[in-house]
Chain A
Amino acid sequence: MRMHFRLPILFIGLAAIPYFSFAALAQTPSVSAADDWVPSIYAQLSRRLFPVFRPRSCFCDEDCFAALQEKQKLQSRQRFQSMPPWPPLYPNAEKDIREINLDGLKQIIQRDPKDTRPLLINFWATWCDPCREEFPDLVKVDTDYRSKGLNFIAVSLDDISDIKTAVPKFLKEMKAEMSVVLLNVNDPEPAIKAVDASWDGQLPATFLYDKEGKVVFRHFGRIEPAALRAAIEKAVGNKQ
């Protein structure tokens, strides 16, 4: 019975090690030369264990050494600033939402032939009430099935002027982590018909494509989570 209490603690403990070590590294600019090629906890360790890296040419001269150390600090600061930022917990909260046009939408639907994950596409907008209402269910679907191989793309039909305001704000509130793009087209008709001939543009609209790219589920209006989940189970489980 004791295992019941110990296992989660052990698991959390193990998971925390790489997180904190990487976080520490990301927050502390390192002076060590080691982190040039080992961006890990080992770089931190080597810096702690061997704090002074004294180049041979400077043994004679303390001023020279100080100058060199300053130079190294500056270099490492620059290197640190040019590093990509530590990924935020909810990517869409800060990430730029990609704007796509008709061709971009067609690319998403046709897919990269190498990508054989089932694809879920939800068309939505912040001005659409049922879209907002169903979004928490979609966020749960994304969390539950991403690790099982589901690729989820939410296509926003908000006005392009909302791409940095209303859209990311809503996604942050929803703690949404799926990929989000904003479709910016002047005439919506070719886009709607490129997705599905039986669709007239009513929102929300949800489509699930299986590994072969065939539509296996479509729903207009607010989704019923159980029906969508059943379809996804089938699509991700169908291994061949």
Chain B
Amino acid sequence: MKKHYALPLFLAAILVVAFAAIAGSGRTTIDLPAPPSIGTVIDDFKLPDADGAEHSLKSLAGKNGAVVIFIATKCPVSNAYNDRMEKLAQDYKAKGINVIGINSNSTEPSSEVKSHAAEKHLSFAILKDEGNKIADRLGATRTPEVYVLDASMKLVYHGRIDNSQKVETITSNDLRDALDEMLAGKPVTKTSGAAFGCTIKRVS
């Protein structure tokens, strides 16, 4: 009696294990290109805005540098920073640093990027990175994620805006500190910062 189903069971077990092994092989973490290290000069690139007009990084950068921020329309973390990003853009425009937003999420089309910017009163340029090519080149993984470039397009800071999603509990203004140091002609003390954010949704 026992033998009648012992064999099929054994075979089924082998099949399951084999399937798991095949499905699992070679498909571990998606390897993203590492972000450029601090001090690297970022090559110029062109991306369209939400209306389809192409802009190059150099044409949008200010005379003292640029802040490239990967943003999203749906990510609550990115949205928590809308006001802060807009304020930052206003504050540093006069100092010759322009904020450039990039939306690389495959799930958020240009039309949505445009309506979101209008609704949230984001006045800085926002580019649409179809196929996440620029996110790949810069090794961007989450929103919001910031890259600070100096006047010669050299990367001086990469990471978070500040330490807290809630304005009341900010204790470390990493991005502003980096910008102020850069403007003062000093080397940036803290060149990176980690914070929780939404994963950029890449094309598969």
What residues make up the interface of A, taking CB atoms closer than 8 Å to B?
3, 123, 125, 127-130, 157, 159, 186-189, 192-193, 199-204, 217-222, 224, 226-227, 229-231, 233
Q: How far is A200 from B195 in the complex, measured between Cα atoms in Å?
A: 6
Q: CB-CB < 8 A to A220: which residues of B?
A: 29, 141, 199
User: Assuming the A-B contacts A186-B164, A187-B172, A188-B163, are A202 and B24 also in contact, with contact meaning beta carbons closer than 8 angstroms in the complex?
Assistant: no
Classify the secondary structure of B's interface with A.
loop
Q: Give the residue name and chain of the A residue nearest to B139 (CB).
A: A200
Cβ-based interface call for B111 (8 A): no
Are B145 and A200 in contact, CB atoms less than 8 angstroms apart?
A: yes
Q: How far is A106 from B6 in the complex, measured between Cα atoms in Å?
A: 46
A147 to chain B, nearest CB (A): 16
User: Assuming the A-B contacts A230-B20, A230-B21, are A129 and B30 also in contact, with contact meaning beta carbons closer than 8 angstroms in the complex?
Assistant: no
Are A227 and B27 in contact, CB atoms less than 8 angstroms apart?
A: yes
What residues make up the interface of B, taking CB atoms closer than 8 Å to A?
1, 17, 20-21, 23-25, 27-30, 74, 76-77, 141-142, 145, 159-160, 163-166, 169, 171-172, 193-201
Contacting A186 at CB < 8 Å: which of B1, B20, B24, B169? B169
Are A219 and B20 in contact, CB atoms less than 8 angstroms apart?
A: no
A-B CB contact pairs (8 Å), 15 listed: A129-B74, A129-B198, A157-B196, A159-B166, A186-B164, A186-B169, A187-B163, A192-B194, A202-B196, A202-B200, A204-B199, A226-B20, A227-B23, A229-B23, A230-B20
Are B171 and A187 in contact, CB atoms less than 8 angstroms apart?
A: yes
Are B28 and A201 in contact, CB atoms less than 8 angstroms apart?
A: no
Are A224 and B172 in contact, CB atoms less than 8 angstroms apart?
A: no
Are A127 and B142 in contact, CB atoms less than 8 angstroms apart?
A: no
Classify the secondary structure of A's interface with B.
mixed
Additional 18 contacts, C-beta under 8 A, given A3-B1, A129-B198 = A130-B198, A130-B199, A130-B201, A186-B163, A186-B169, A189-B194, A193-B194, A200-B159, A200-B195, A201-B142, A201-B196, A202-B196, A202-B200, A203-B142, A204-B199, A226-B23, A227-B23, A227-B24
Q: How far is A227 from B29 in the complex, measured between Cα atoms in Å?
A: 9
Q: Which 3 A-B pairs have the closest CB atoms?
A: A230-B24, A226-B23, A202-B142
A143 to chain B, nearest CB (A): 16
B197 to chain A, nearest CB (A): 6
Are B164 and A128 in contact, CB atoms less than 8 angstroms apart?
A: no
Q: Give the residue name and chain of the B residue nearest to A224 (CB).
A: B27
A158 to chain B, nearest CB (A): 10
Contacting B30 at CB < 8 Å: which of A157, A187, A217, A221? A221
Q: How far is A66 from B27 in the complex, measured between Cα atoms in Å?
A: 74
User: Assuming the A-B contacts A186-B163, A219-B29, A226-B20, are A203 and B195 also in contact, with contact meaning beta carbons closer than 8 angstroms in the complex?
Assistant: no
User: Assuming the A-B contacts A188-B194, A189-B193, A230-B23, are A201 and B30 also in contact, with contact meaning beta carbons closer than 8 angstroms in the complex?
Assistant: no
Q: Give the residue name and chain of the A residue nearest to B165 (CB).
A: A159
User: Assuming the A-B contacts A201-B160, A203-B199, are A219 and B28 also in contact, with contact meaning beta carbons closer than 8 angstroms in the complex?
Assistant: yes
Q: CB-CB < 8 A to A221: which residues of B?
A: 30, 199
A200 to chain B, nearest CB (A): 5
Q: CB-CB < 8 A to A192: which residues of B?
A: 194-196
Q: How far is A13 from B179 in the complex, measured between Cα atoms in Å?
A: 70
Are B77 and A189 in contact, CB atoms less than 8 angstroms apart?
A: no
User: Assuming the A-B contacts A125-B196, A187-B172, A227-B23, are A202 and B28 also in contact, with contact meaning beta carbons closer than 8 angstroms in the complex?
Assistant: no
Are B21 and A202 in contact, CB atoms less than 8 angstroms apart?
A: no
